[in-house]
Structure 1
Amino acid sequence: MRSIIYGMLLFCACPFFSTAQENYEIQVYGSQTVLKGNTMVELHSNFTNDGSRSVVDGVKPTNHVFHETVEITHGWNSWFETGFYFFNTLGNDGRTTYVGSHIRPRVMAPAAWKWPVGVSISMEAGYQKRAYSEDDWTLEIRPIVDKQWGPLYVSFNPTFDKSFHGESKDQGYIFSPNLKAAYNVTKVIAGGFEYYGSVGPLNHFFPYQSQQHQLFAAVDLDWSPDWEFNIGYGWGFTQTTDNAIFKMILGYRFH
């Protein structure tokens, strides 16, 4: 089995189609995949309180718009899952519509290997309408490394985004690091921070104000193994980053 999983990890590191979902799914991934035979259904609900106010490179403004994403993930065995995304936007001035969809296979290193950290890798591929994204056909390769130290949890996603059609198709792979640190205040409540960035190709970072940097204060509630709840408020630090976003993730696991 180990050779099969290694092969899947290598396969997921090869180009195919997807990129950052802009502000449709704001989440730092943990390494654990959905259990075999289970299906996780999540609603990602994000509101941009202070975003772009005019059309930029053909993309409609994000100010005062809701992004509602339905994510359905099924676990096929103890180390492999597949997720499906349905992106939607709600707003005035013709900004209410279905935006696009992605598919995301992911494999993890099984717990039986007894690695000191959790490790998995996902490859997300899909399409978004050009009026809502500078790039419509894209690829995201997301390695995931996480660790629980007592009450402290840390996850790092050194993500790479690639456009195959759109404004960024000639830029190569864009480095978009994500980081989460959360501390269990009680058995149910964990508070912490989430960071989301996009800095440019590894061999040539964009100028700082052309990069994207967001920091969220976030809370996770864990009252049941079948439910997932995350809520947060984020601030942008550069001119190209939406300045203020409220986000919520609500999920339920079907056995």
Structure 2
Amino acid sequence: MRRLLPLLPLLLAAAPGAPAARAAGFDEFQVFDGRITQPGGFDLNLHLNFGRRGIREAGEGAPRNGALFTAEIGYVTAPWHEVALYLPVAREFSGDVFGGGFKLRNSFVVPGAADRPVAYGFDVELRHQPYRFTSADWGVTLRPIIDLRRGPWQLILNPAVEFPLGRDGPVFAPAVRGVLQVAEQHWIGLEHYMDFDRIDRPAKPGGQAHQLFATTDWKISERFALHLGLGHGLTRASDRWLGKVILSVDF
């Protein structure tokens, strides 16, 4: 697949986390830029997030701080379409391990996004996850993709809207990523993940989730890429120190 490739450390470390709040609904930290491989190609992304909670709100069996590992398997059906399956597994600090259901994402993109100064696309993501991860077991995310490039700079916008099925109303959860290419195969960047809660009843500033990450990316070879990130929450409803690693493999 496109973008960032992450490598999987063996360490499932855990760092202290802030108390979870309704708006703090992240269970994955990834910004989509609309680049996909050639039709007929598979890709595998291995995600590791650690030092954070994997749920929307505390209570009722909420997992403690720990690690979340996700295998993402993608297949490109056409120059403009990719389908990907996410299979998350969480590990609490106490050692408890449990599955996180699945996500199925369909990406519709402009062909040749990597060579365009302005590219765009659209994701439709269906998920089924237990209540330890989310406030509703079924949900749909609609994620526009806007990718702007100029010289070594890149700005990616994902103004996503999440629809928990059968509970609550739609949630506005945008993400933005700024990238600077510093060498032929090396990039640095900043990512900001936001959760404003329900569109019809947004949370007050202190109840919103805002996670800021400093990231670095390496293109290791034609098939392998590595993405590393260190993040910190900006509000009381956000997690504190977080780490993430993504190893991407194109087949």
TM-score between both structures, scaled by the size of structure 2 = 0.83
Percent sequence identity over aligned pairs: 27
Distance 2:116 2:129 in 1: 37
Aligned residues: 226
Counterpart of 1:12 in structure 2 is none
Q: Which amino acid counterpart does residue 149 of structure 2 have in structure 1? A: Q
Counterpart of 1:237 in structure 2 is 234
**Residues 21 and 202 of structure 1: is their aligned pair in 2 closer, same or farther, counting only changes over 3 Å?**
closer
Between 1 and 2, higher relative CO (CA 8 Å, sep ≥ 6) is seen in 2
Counterpart of 2:5 in structure 1 is none
Where is the helix percentage greater, Structure 1 or Structure 2?
A: 1
Query: Helix, strand or coil: the match of 2:101?
Result: strand
Distance 1:23 1:245 in 2: 12
Counterpart of 1:56 in structure 2 is 58
Counterpart of 1:83 in structure 2 is 84
Unaligned runs of 5+ in 1: 1-19
- Is the contact made by 2:24 and 2:208 (CA closer than 8 Å) also made in structure 1? no
Q: Deviations over 1:81-129 (max 9, x none)?
A: 10000010112446311111011111112349x9751111011101111
Counterpart of 2:8 in structure 1 is none
Residue 203 of structure 1: CA displacement?
A: 4.3
Query: Helix, strand or coil: the match of 1:27?
Result: coil
Alignment partner of 1:45 is 2:42: no
**Residues 150 and 62 of structure 1: is their aligned pair in 2 closer, same or farther, counting only changes over 3 Å?**
farther
TM-score between both structures, scaled by the size of structure 1 = 0.81
Counterpart of 1:184 in structure 2 is 181
Q: Which runs of 4+ in 1 moved over 4 A?
A: 20-23
Unaligned runs of 5+ in 2: 1-22
Indicate the RMSD between aligned Cα atoms, in angstroms: 2.3
Q: Deviations over 1:50-70 (max 9, x none)?
A: x59xx814251342x110000
Distance 2:40 2:104 in 1: 18
Distance 1:60 1:118 in 2: 39
